[in-house]
Amino acid sequence: MGQVCLISGPPGCGKTTWALQKLQEHSGPCAYLRLEGEKEAGLEQGEDSGIDLAWLKDQVPRLEEPTADNTEDLKQANNSLTLIEVQRFHPPSQEGLKGFGEDVRSKLKALQLQPDQLLHFGRDHELPAKDTLEFSKLEAWHTSLLGCVWDPNSLSSFWFELVNGAYGDVYRAKGLMNLPDGRAFFCNWMVSQQSSQFLPLDITAPPQGRPDRTSELVVQGKALNPKGIQATINDCLLTDDVLAMQQQQPTSQG
């Protein structure tokens, strides 16, 4: 029978990084599911914008997303691994799935997924705890960047401003960003880390027009300035004319 493991923890504790390591180490069929945890007063959940799944599928191309059609096959496979990630600010107060909200339990029931193992960052020794922080208040903001392409230098400047307090106290930021040459980067920041990660996706898009792959930005922190963030983003994105000119340059130089 296949293994089903549910991991939970607060923003930025390393859930997706840990999941990537386990999926890369696993040789059999594998699947990944991200579920939103329960709402808590003053603590806003980060939007499930598809960043984590898109990043993991780029790094592990055979990765599946559990659906009503494939979960039975995954359960029957002798060497399958399904990882479920839940953003949760505090450890469950009850054992098993009783410690999770009705929304999480109902979604797992609909998919007929019964975790064999439930682990929480900051509680269980199997998981790293160095980036596990406690939050008393947290705001969240999200924007879709589908079809958007960044000026590379402007992206670097914007990200530096974002994580250094120009738009509020940012504790957590992650995004998938497109560049005009067809590359995309997974940008990742947590206040407990010394620096940001800029990790290139393995799959590139043809540098012709605007890519249609997942591109999103999620920010969590205090006293955020969404209007300021969005205004700066708008200034950093390439217009159709500039994008066409930049994408034609390699051809003309060849």
Cα separation of 79 and 69, whole Å? 18
Residue spans of the chain under pLDDT 50: 251-254
Burial 233-244 (b: 16+ CB within 10 A, else e): beebbbeeeebe
pLDDT digits (tens, 9 = 90+) for 26-46: 999 999 999 988 888 899 988
pLDDT confidence of residue 1: 60
The SS3 of residue 154 is helix
Instruction: Give me the helices (H) in the chain, please.
Output: 15-25, 51-59, 71-76, 102-110, 152-163, 226-236, 240-253
List, in order of start, the domains of the chain with CATH numbers.
3-120 (3.40.1010), 139-249 (3.30.1220.10)
pLDDT confidence of residue 250: 55
pLDDT confidence of residue 215: 97
pLDDT confidence of residue 161: 98
Which two three-digit tokens encode residue 35? 């579920």
- Rounded to two decimals, what is the model's pTM? 0.92
pLDDT confidence of residue 230: 98
pLDDT confidence of residue 184: 97
pLDDT confidence of residue 252: 41
pLDDT confidence of residue 224: 97
The SS3 of residue 237 is strand
CA 238 to chain centre: 24
